[in-house]
Structure 1
Amino acid sequence: MEFQAQKKVDDEGARESLFTRLANVLSNWSHKYVPDAFVIAVLLTLFVLLIGVFMHPSEPMSIIKSWGDGFWAYLAFTMQMVLLMVTGMTLASVPFLNKGLQSIARLANTPQKAYILTFLISAFAYYINWGLAVVVGAIMAKEVASKNAYSHFPLLVAAAYAPTALYSAGLSSSIGLTVATSDHFLMKQMGVIPTSQTIFSPSTIIIFLVLLVTMPIIILLMAPKKNIVAYKGQPQPSNTIVQPQNVTIAERLEWTPFLGIVLGAIGVMYCGYEFLHGRSLDLNIINIFFLSLGLLLHGSLNNFAKGFEEATQTISPLILQFPFYAGIIGVLGSSGLGANIIEWMASIASKDNFDLFTYWSAGLVNLLAPSGGGQWALQGPLQVPAGLKLGVDPATIAMAVGWGDAWTNLIQPFWALPLLGVLGLKIKDIMGYCFILCIWTGIVTSLLMLFLY
């Protein structure tokens, strides 16, 4: 992979907007001062440990124990998240879907179209499944950049990642799906909340559409007119594997499409049966559905296994860092730091603005614990009773936490790791652009929540 600076216009003649100049300043700052994502995870771990010990100076070992115990507290959820991402990425590697993305990329014949197209395709993928969106965003950024030398590659990658702020309104919303699952851990307090009241509610859809329209405008305003960094790599290769000649009977079983089609069809029929009998979307059903589609479309078990294997390689940073953030969640819970943040904001809120303070507190907590499900496990038991006491709709509480969790994902590198790994960039390469988008998203969502929830 090679990057090369190009200029669309002469430096002296280029007039850049205020947003572009601000983005350049923030980008230069992040290149100097933003460390690797794993370093950030370790620094956050040490920070919460120090705060925890400071709050409980007589019990330092209990704080350390809560960190170590927290490492393994969310193994089941971690496995669900890993499968959600890997099955989505494996599905996106189906050859005809990959070629379809390449064909769409040809529509981006100007830098402006390149940024908008990358954002919109990635947003569509995020709405369907954020695991799918990782590889779709990566493919789109690569393919669009390879066909448009004057598009700024770091901004294209930021455009591919920006729709992470919308994922809580999509079909893989971890909080929305969790509260729709029977026997979830807060069912006694809030009951089972169907997705019609969370991710499919009119308020959620309006916020989603407003951000969908305005975020690409901000991206266009940040686009540089000089010192363009163009991507000079090769397009994403197809994952199709050619069947060898003179195969054995055992190898025929690996290459025959029959087994994948049959098992995939069974999985799809299971999902259809569950939906017809009133089951709402949840993490398990989403995983089975994407796994089944991948088996159906890959052509053979060999192709599917190869795509699955390649997908797992891109999420290794996520697997490495997730236990650290789980440990942070453990410390936030045992030390009372997370509770103090949440309870302080809840104490100054009223029924009319409880959702807004919930959104802000969720965004703050997400910087320390970037996991929708993990954050809900921490914040839900505190936020739900406080909101119910004020008469706030529990579905509103869940979505406010979801929006806050997604909001600061823009400046928390955890979920950007797979995308950056595929594209060969560092978090500091896109942080300046993501910071501006984070500010915009926070302002717009806060204002809309005041009127809609």
Structure 2
Amino acid sequence: MEQISGRELAGDSRQNTVGMLEGVAAAMTRWSERWFPDAYIFAAIAVIVVAVGAMAIGAPVKTVGRAFGDGFWTLIPFTMQMVIGAISGYVVAVSPPAAKVMNRLARLPRGPRSAVAFVAFVSISTSLLNWAISLIFSGLLVRVLARREDLRMDYRAAGAAAYLGLGATWALGLSSSAAQLQANPESLPKGLLAITGVIPFSETIFLPQSFLVVAVLTIISVLIAYFSAPTGDRVRTAVDMGVDVSDQETRLSAPVRPGDRLDHSPVITIMIVLLGAVWIWHEFTTKNPILAISNLNTYNFVFLMLGMLLNWRPKRFLNAIAKSVPSTAGVLIQFPLYGGIAFILTKAAVPSGVPLSEHLAHFFVAISSHSSFSAVMGLHSAILGFFIPSGGGKWIIEAPYVIETAKAVQVHLGWAVTVYNAAEALPNLINPFWMLPLLGVLGLRARDVIGFTFTQLLVHFPVVIFLLWALTSTLQYHPPWMP
């Protein structure tokens, strides 16, 4: 009788487990694709729920309606900042120099599973700089890797690995919407600013505890990506899936009219970037670098100038912007609704003068303590995040009662933001909403990758909640700083 080695038995057991998880995740994906409406519908439902909640505790209909209208436009500066951040990240990711870096990186992995793990590492690393760069750059990297004839890489697993930056760590990086919002008082609605105060980066994403969470999630994500990547007959390459991964770079056509020459001339780009460089140099040499980069306008300006420089010619730069704009439609229409929600929560008071946000804070204070705050709020934020897929917009909803609860149970306010950030990213792993730009780049469907991201979620969820709970006691509470 043929002997079966322990390694083969372990391999079969692992493949069976992964196959079962893929089946569960695929079923969940089919359900969500069939029944989930557009993310805008969830934002609209949130408005209705919050309005009904305010009226249920005694706020007059007129007061609720006025609060909604007064708050509707309060997030316009932040909305445009988020849009510019997404556009600038996309423009950097699709630039010719980024393509050259991508081609060089694609030569590094030696085997198919190491290639998947490498994509996961690149996705997570770049997400700490900008979530849009991570999503687009990692997706394009997968396509370049898939062209290697010597690398029989599972295209689905690599695609899922490219998504890990947005599903694991982006909210703990520089483009964290909640951290950016709290560090910029001019972007905060006044009612929210009065509750939270200003919380700089040094108290949120630059905390040593936040770095630890990022390090643990990076290691875990890369290991899971490596060991969950199919091998042998289970591998499905891009060719197997009928996906064309040939180089589809759009070449600039030569100028036709004399006026077109300026569109193709780098002189304009050089002059604008030089002016921008003077301002950037001044910002970072006259201010604390942490404070400088925490300014959302500075952050966006740096990446926009970088995108302009890397694309070199104005025509290429404008083409990249045109391709990036459709991905920002959700932000443009949803964020005003979140502004209205914030005002209903904080301004639509009952005759006694107590708004809905305070009632919610009292509820969470009643079920929380200093030690349980992070676990309770983490679970709450993760569950709500599945239905309201918006980092900064959802923070506008949660911040009033999350911060009030943190103050009541004496939890470090910057850590409360980190709790939100780390937990809010978890549902991204199985929510098709944020996958759409990446899936467009890869030519895949959500059901192709979600089995692998669901496997990540099963491990991430308990690890994240445990870390948030365990690290809470390492930080001391101090009152909010008011500008």
TM-score, normalised by the number of residues in structure 2: 0.79
Q: CA deviation at 1:67?
A: 12
User: Corresponding residue for 2:216?
Assistant: 210
User: Corresponding residue for 2:148?
Assistant: 147
Q: SS in structure 1 opposite 2:139?
A: helix
Quick check: 1:37–1:414 contact (8 Å CA) kept in 2? no
1:298 matches 2:311: yes
Q: CA deviation at 1:187?
A: 4.1
Q: CA deviation at 1:105?
A: 1.1
**Structure 1 residues 62 and 167 mapped into 2: Cα distance closer, same or farther (>3 Å)?**
farther
Quick check: 2:126–2:165 contact (8 Å CA) kept in 1? no
**Structure 1 residues 182 and 265 mapped into 2: Cα distance closer, same or farther (>3 Å)?**
farther
Match runs of 1:55-70 below 5 Å: none
Identity, % of aligned positions:
24
Match of 1:442 among 436, 461, 469: 461
Distance (whole Å) between structure 2 residues aligned to residue 397 and residue 72 of structure 1: 26
Matched AA of 1:175: A
1:241 matches 2:244: no
User: Corresponding residue for 2:26?
Assistant: 28
User: Corresponding residue for 1:283?
Assistant: 296
Matched AA of 1:267: G
Q: SS in structure 1 opposite 2:109?
A: coil
Match of 2:323 among 310, 313, 324: 310
1:191 matches 2:193: no
Match of 2:425 among 400, 406, 410: 406
Distance (whole Å) between structure 2 residues aligned to residue 449 and residue 309 of structure 1: 40
Larger-Rg structure: 2
Distance (whole Å) between structure 2 residues aligned to residue 71 and residue 34 of structure 1: 29
**Structure 1 residues 438 and 296 mapped into 2: Cα distance closer, same or farther (>3 Å)?**
same
**Structure 1 residues 373 and 389 mapped into 2: Cα distance closer, same or farther (>3 Å)?**
same
Distance (whole Å) between structure 2 residues aligned to residue 74 and residue 383 of structure 1: 19
User: Corresponding residue for 1:171?
Assistant: 174
User: Corresponding residue for 1:128?
Assistant: 129
Q: SS in structure 2 opposite 1:35?
A: helix
Q: CA deviation at 1:353?
A: 2.5
**Structure 1 residues 49 and 271 mapped into 2: Cα distance closer, same or farther (>3 Å)?**
closer
Q: SS in structure 2 opposite 1:244?
A: coil
Distance (whole Å) between structure 2 residues aligned to residue 295 and residue 289 of structure 1: 10
Distance (whole Å) between structure 1 residues aligned to residue 63 and residue 160 of structure 2: 37
Match of 1:266 among 272, 275, 279: 275
1:231 matches 2:238: yes
**1:320-350 CA-partner distances (Å, limit 9, x unpaired):** 5763586478569859999877754442111
User: Corresponding residue for 1:319?
Assistant: 329
**Structure 1 residues 346 and 222 mapped into 2: Cα distance closer, same or farther (>3 Å)?**
farther
Distance (whole Å) between structure 1 residues aligned to residue 194 and residue 118 of structure 2: 44
Match of 1:39 among 37, 40, 47: 37
Quick check: 1:151–1:230 contact (8 Å CA) kept in 2? yes
TM-score, normalised by the number of residues in structure 1: 0.84
Distance (whole Å) between structure 2 residues aligned to residue 37 and residue 86 of structure 1: 30
* 136-145 or 267-276: bigger deviation: 267-276
**Structure 1 residues 241 and 399 mapped into 2: Cα distance closer, same or farther (>3 Å)?**
same
Distance (whole Å) between structure 2 residues aligned to residue 28 and residue 368 of structure 1: 19
Quick check: 1:239–1:307 contact (8 Å CA) kept in 2? no
Distance (whole Å) between structure 1 residues aligned to residue 66 and residue 248 of structure 2: 45
Distance (whole Å) between structure 2 residues aligned to residue 240 and residue 367 of structure 1: 40
Quick check: 2:114–2:226 contact (8 Å CA) kept in 1? no
User: Corresponding residue for 2:350?
Assistant: none
Distance (whole Å) between structure 1 residues aligned to residue 358 and residue 389 of structure 2: 16
Q: SS in structure 1 opposite 2:405?
A: helix
Q: CA deviation at 1:74?
A: 4.2
Consecutive unaligned residues of structure 2, counting only runs of 5 or more, are 1-10, 346-354, 473-483
Q: SS in structure 1 opposite 2:236?
A: strand
Distance (whole Å) between structure 1 residues aligned to residue 339 and residue 268 of structure 2: 42
Distance (whole Å) between structure 2 residues aligned to residue 66 and residue 108 of structure 1: 58
Q: CA deviation at 1:260?
A: 0.4
Distance (whole Å) between structure 2 residues aligned to residue 196 and residue 320 of structure 1: 30
How well do the aligned residues superpose, as a CA RMSD in angstroms?
3.4
Distance (whole Å) between structure 1 residues aligned to residue 237 and residue 60 of structure 2: 50
1:421 matches 2:440: yes
Quick check: 1:260–1:299 contact (8 Å CA) kept in 2? yes
* 193-202 or 24-33: bigger deviation: 24-33
Q: CA deviation at 1:119?
A: 0.7
